[in-house]
Structure formats: structure tokens, C-alpha cells
């Protein structure tokens, strides 16, 4: 092995990994930026870096969702501050496919969480811009791995609560929290049944605005969750009340999260998530390798044929594989 001259990038990568494992923010931020890059040489380097990270243990990955205005950023700031003050290291990430298309970002504005942004125990990363939902979700998974390697033990992953990003986030988190409002029906809140089914904990936020309505909403949610949950489910989803503004209910939510972690075999859940991640990475790697030998003009021609209805999609792919 000593005969092999080291590649010029290696010593740099090693010290970068060391800085990252030591919890240095700059190293972490740079590593996340690298994994978000779509340049082929950056992709290779990102994979080299990620391959050096040990598997994180003992962290909690929490997905949070709810319609715009429900109070997600206020809630995440309140929960994040509560945890940071307890001595946890908290990382806040966002998955926002709409920002991927528009270039804006739900997390772009750091003033949304002014206190948490400056807390030494917190790290806030805006949603990556550019790319497809799949791409944004993949990079979020890698960002989770990087944050955990840097010592962050609570990951709060926010989604906008209106699209498909929830399914992606549920597939990379330990538990999923849905925020709702005291004074609106399900339709008004835009809650899709599918999102309710993903929720391990529902929280009626803004309980301070109308405490009675909040109790009613909590009872309704509890009934809905009972109906949605199979009898043999390992966890009965909870309905809680909170106020992100006053901090009421934040400690109760955290206690529920800890109950969840104590009761469920997170190891098994994570292993199956990791297996899915492996499948995704493999598909991507296979596609990259396949693409290199591909006649892109022929691909474009066949795609136009399919688009024009002259051949079927199946025929187009069959022609390409020949
Ligand atoms: P997001 O769009 O889901 O991120 O919602 P925001 O966190 O930006 O909150 C929307 C508005 O609701 C802001 O004006 C917040 O101050 C307010 N808000 C959030 N949580 C609460 C709460 O628990 N009680 C009250 N009264 N207002 C809240």
C-alpha cells in the first residue's frame, strides 16, 4: 500500500473529516454545501467524505409538518431552545420541494428563528435550492448523517405540509409530528388523510388563542387517530395541545418523544430505512454509470417519439436498451 502515491485530495479530506467529527460548524456547513452540489467531481468527493463517517448512534430524528401559518418555525424555535438549554445539540433542516423549483426557501430567512439561530448548541440549515424533490430529499438524508457525525443529537426536519415531501421525510426520521390549529376543520387545515396516517404525534398548536376550541380539536384528533391506527400497531399516535408562543406543551411533547423512543425499536426502523437508502443510492449510481455510455441524441429522439404518441413508453425504452 505504501507504494501508492496518495492523491492530492486525501490529506485535505482527512483533516476535513476530523474537523467535522470534532463538531466544527464551518467544516459541517462546507460538507453540506458539497453534498448539495450537482457537479460530478463534487458528487464523487461528497461520497468519499460521507463514506468516512461512522454510523451515528443515540440521536433522535424528528419530522415536523403542518400547513403554512400553523406555527412551524415558532414551534421549532421553542422546542429547539428548550432542548438546547437542556444541553442537547439541535440541528434544524428543511425539506421544501417548492423552494427547489422557485429558488425561494421556507428556511431561507433566518429571522424566522432569531433566538435559536444564535444559540451555541443549535445549527440551522436552510432548505437546499435547486433540484427535484427526490434530490432535495436525498441531500437531506446526507445532511442528517453529517449533522449527526458533527455531534448533533436532535434533528428537527421541517416540511411544508402540503405535498409529497412528508412521505420522504417520514422515511428518514424516527417519528413524525403533525401540527394543527384549534379552530379549523380538517379540510380547512388542508390535512390530507395520508399525512395524518404518517403522524406519530399530532399537536394542536396556538392553544393559547382559544383554549376550549383547542381541547375540542384535541379530542377530535384523538378519535381520528384511533380510527386510523390498526389495533396491533406498536405505537398509538397521540394528540397533544401546545402553544409555541407561550411554551406551554413543549415539555410534554418532548416527554412523549422520549416515551416513543423508549417503547419502540428504533434500531429496526433505522435499519429498514437504511436499506431503502441503499436501494436509492444504488439506483442513482447505476443510472450515472449507464448514462455515461448512452447516446443522448438517440435518447432525446426516442423521448420525442414517445411524447408525440408515435411509439409507446415501453417501446421507447426497449429500443434504447437494444
Ligand atoms: P409557519 O408558517 O408554520 O412556519 O408559521 P409561523 O411559525 O411563521 O407562525 C405564523 C404566525 O403564527 C406567526 O405570527 C406566529 O407568531 C404565530 N404563532 C405561532 N405559534 C403560535 C402560538 O402558539 N400561539 C399564538 N398565539 N401565535 C402563534
Closest atom, ligand 1, to C-alpha of 207 = 23
pLDDT at 102: 47
The CB of 73 under 6 Å from ligand 1? The reply is: yes
The CB of 128 under 6 Å from ligand 1? The reply is: no
Could you tell me the strand order of the sheet in which 60-65 lies?
Answer: 122-124, 90-95, 154-159, 60-65, 175-180, 201-204, 238-241
User: Mean pLDDT over all residues of the chain?
Assistant: 85
Is residue 176 a contact partner of residue 271, using CB atoms and an 8 Å limit? no
Query: Which of these ranges, 5-19, 62-76, 100-114, has the smallest mean pLDDT?
Result: 100-114
The CB of 205 under 6 Å from ligand 1? The reply is: yes
Domains of the chain: 1-53 (1.20.5.170), 54-264 (3.40.50.300), 275-321 (no CATH)
CA distances from 133 to 57, 102, 166, 268 (A): 27, 12, 11, 26
Is residue 252 a contact partner of residue 218, using CB atoms and an 8 Å limit? no
The CB of 180 under 6 Å from ligand 1? The reply is: no
Which residue's entry shows cell 404525534? 201
Give mean pLDDT, residues 96-108. 52
Closest atom, ligand 1, to C-alpha of 77 = 7
Q: State the DSSP code for 55.
A: P
The CB of 244 under 6 Å from ligand 1? The reply is: yes
Q: Is the pLDDT of residue 136 over 50?
A: yes
Q: What is the pLDDT of residues 259-290, one digit of tens each?
A: 999 998 888 888 888 888 888 888 878 887 88
Q: What is the pLDDT of residues 196-207, one digit of tens each?
A: 888 999 999 999
Of 11-15, 92-96, 220-224, 315-319, the range with the highest mean pLDDT is: 315-319
Q: What is the pLDDT of residues 207-252, one digit of tens each?
A: 999 999 999 999 988 988 888 888 888 899 999 999 999 999 999 9
Q: What is the β-pairing status of strands 154-159 and 60-65?
A: parallel
CA distances from 272 to 47, 167, 266 (A): 21, 15, 10
The CB of 140 under 6 Å from ligand 1? The reply is: no
**Percentage of the residues of the chain whose pLDDT score is greater than 70:** 85
pLDDT at 1: 41
Separation of 199 CA from ligand 1 center, angstroms?
A: 20
Q: Is the pLDDT of residue 2 over 50?
A: no
Separation of 314 CA from ligand 1 center, angstroms?
A: 49
Give mean pLDDT, residues 134-157. 88
Q: How far apart are the first and last CA of the chain?
A: 42
Which residue's entry shows cell 432548505? 127
Closest atom, ligand 1, to C-alpha of 112 = 8
Separation of 308 CA from ligand 1 center, angstroms?
A: 48
Amino acid at each position: 500500500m505504501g507504494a501508492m502515491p496518495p492523491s492530492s485530495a486525501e490529506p485535505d479530506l482527512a483533516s476535513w473529516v476530523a474537523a467535522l467529527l470534532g463538531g466544527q460548524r464551518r467544516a459541517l456547513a462546507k460538507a453540506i454545501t458539497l453534498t448539495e452540489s450537482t457537479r460530478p467531481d463534487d458528487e464523487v468527493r461528497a461520497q468519499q467524505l460521507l463514506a468516512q463517517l461512522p454510523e451515528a448512534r443515540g440521536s433522535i430524528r424528528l419530522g415536523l409538518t403542518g400547513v403554512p401559518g400553523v406555527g412551524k418555525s415558532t414551534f421549532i424555535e421553542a422546542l429547539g431552545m428548550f432542548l438546547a438549554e437542556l444541553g442537547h445539540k439541535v440541528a434544524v433542516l428543511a425539506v421544501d420541494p417548492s423552494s427547489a423549483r422557485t429558488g425561494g426557501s421556507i428556511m431561507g430567512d433566518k429571522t424566522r428563528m432569531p433566538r435559536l439561530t444564535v444559540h451555541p448548541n443549535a445549527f440551522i440549515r436552510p432548505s437546499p435550492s435547486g433540484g427535484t424533490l427526490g434530490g432535495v430529499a436525498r441531500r437531506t438524508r446526507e445532511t442528517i448523517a453529517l449533522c449527526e457525525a458533527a455531534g448533533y443529537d436532535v434533528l428537527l426536519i421541517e416540511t411544508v405540509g402540503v405535498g409529497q415531501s412528508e412521505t420522504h421525510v417520514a422515511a428518514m426520521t424516527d417519528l413524525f409530528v403533525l401540527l394543527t390549529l384549534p379552530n379549523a376543520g380538517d379540510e380547512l387545515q388542508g390535512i390530507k388523510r395520508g399525512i395524518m396516517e404518517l403522524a406519530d404525534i399530532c399537536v394542536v398548536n396556538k392553544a393559547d388563542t382559544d383554549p376550549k376550541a383547542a381541547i375540542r380539536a384535541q379530542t377530535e384528533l384523538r378519535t381520528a387517530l384511533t380510527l386510523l391506527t390498526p389495533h396491533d400497531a406498536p405505537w398509538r399516535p397521540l394528540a397533544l395541545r401546545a402553544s409555541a408562543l407561550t411554551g406551554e406543551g413543549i415539555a410534554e411533547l418532548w416527554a412523549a418523544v422520549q416515551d416513543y423512543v423508549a417503547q419502540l425499536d428504533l434500531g429496526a426502523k433505522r435499519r429498514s430505512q437504511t436499506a431503502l437508502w441503499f436501494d436509492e443510492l444504488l439506483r442513482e449510481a447505476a443510472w450515472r454509470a449507464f448514462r455515461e455510455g448512452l447516446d443522448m441524441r438517440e435518447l432525446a429522439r426516442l423521448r420525442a417519439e414517445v411524447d408525440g404518441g408515435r411509439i409507446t413508453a415501453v417501446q421507447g425504452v426497449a429500443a434504447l436498451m437494444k
